[in-house]
Structures are given as structure tokens and as C-alpha cells.
Amino acid sequence: MTTSPSSRRPSGARDLALVASFAALIAVLAIPGAIPVGGFPAPITLQTLGVMLAGSILGWKRGMLAVLLYLGMGLVGLPVFAGGAGGPGAFVGPTAGYLGGFVVGAGLIGWLVERRLPAYPTWWGALANVVGGILGVYAVGVPVLSAVSGLAFPTALKLGFLYFVPGDLVKVALATVVAAAVHRAVPDVAGVAPARDSQPAGVD
């Protein structure tokens, strides 16, 4: 029996290629370096844009795998973290919580996006990116920042969260627009087959 294109799921090879590609994307987005904020080394980077894209486009499982692969690259010493850093030391410093938050963020974004797929309403995509890419990441990152650095939690919240919100909202907008275009062009990219009567991606 012939399988219709709308019922096909991505192959294992395609899954692996997508996971590896998005892990590389996150690494590339760390290349511009890190801008310290408020005199404390919780830097502004573009990594969270990659995390948002991974969850928004690949779904929760493959999005998390892409982030885990990225973290594994850094763990073994590849210079894929902000400012060209790499190695186990990044996982015990004051910004280590943000690395863990990347995994949580990609998972939350992907899970929320999959609630609506194969449609991708832009308002829902933006909400998913805010919940996962901002709130999810900082919910892990800020407490670890406070604990490891010895900063009072309100100070850590200011230095490790509030300063970043304007830039992160720009990343949310970019990730949402890009993800909407990808889901429109490749409706099954997240592994969810399009239904015949579903709305196209990007329809509000």
C-alpha cells in the first residue's frame, strides 16, 4: 500500500540531520561573543534565538536533543559557548543555570507549538517563545546565578533577567516569523503530519 505524503513522518536520518543542524546553529549564534551586563558576567548573546528556533521548528523532543547535543559539544571542550568558551567549567559557573534553562526552554516551546500543529498561529508561536525562551530559561538561570554568585535574589533577578527582556522580545519576534515561514513551507518539519482540513501555518 502506498503511503500518502501527508501521513509520512521524518526518517531517522532526517531527524539526526535536523538535530545536528540546530545544534550547530545555536553554536554559530554564540560566535558574536558576549556583552557583560550591569558589570556582571551574565552576558547578552544570541544563543536563546537558536533555542527558540529549535523548539519552534523541531518540536519538543528534537528541540531538546538539539540543545543537549550543543551542550555536549561544549562539555567536551569545543568553543561553542558565549565568547568562545567551552569545557566542563561552564557547567559550574554562575551562568550554568542558563545552559540547563536552554534545555527546559526548547522543551516548553516545542511542547506548546505541538499543541497547535500542523497549524502555527503566529500569536501562539510568540506565546510559546515567551513562555519557554524567556520564562523557562530564566526560571532555571536566575536561581543558579543567585546561588553560585552569592547575589541576593532580587539583584540576580535584575542582572540576570530584567536587563535581558527587551532583547529577548526581539528574538521572540524573529523566531516566530522564521518558524511560521518554515512551517508554512514544510508542514511536517516537526514530525506532525498535516491534516486535510487544518489551517496553514501562520494563520491566526
**Per-domain residue ranges for the chain?**
11-185
8 Å CB contact between 143 and 104: no
- Give the span between the Cα atoms of 103 and 91, in whole angstroms: 13
- Cα distances (angstroms) measured from residue 37 to each of 62, 93, 108, 156: 31, 16, 26, 12
Q: What is the CA radius of gyration of the chain?
A: 17
| Multiple choice CATH, 11-185, 1.10.1040.10, 3.90.340.10, 1.10.1760.20, 1.10.472.50 | 1.10.1760.20
Predicted TM-score of the model (pTM): 0.86
204 residues of the chain, pLDDT tens digit each: 444 444 445 578 899 999 999 999 999 998 865 555 555 555 677 899 999 999 999 999 999 999 999 999 999 999 999 878 889 999 998 889 999 999 999 999 999 999 999 899 999 999 999 999 999 999 999 999 999 999 999 999 998 899 889 999 999 999 999 999 999 999 888 776 544 444 555 545
Instruction: State how far the Cα of 202 lies from the Cα of 120, in Å rounded to an integer.
Output: 5
DSSP string, 148-164: HH---HHHHHHHHTGGG
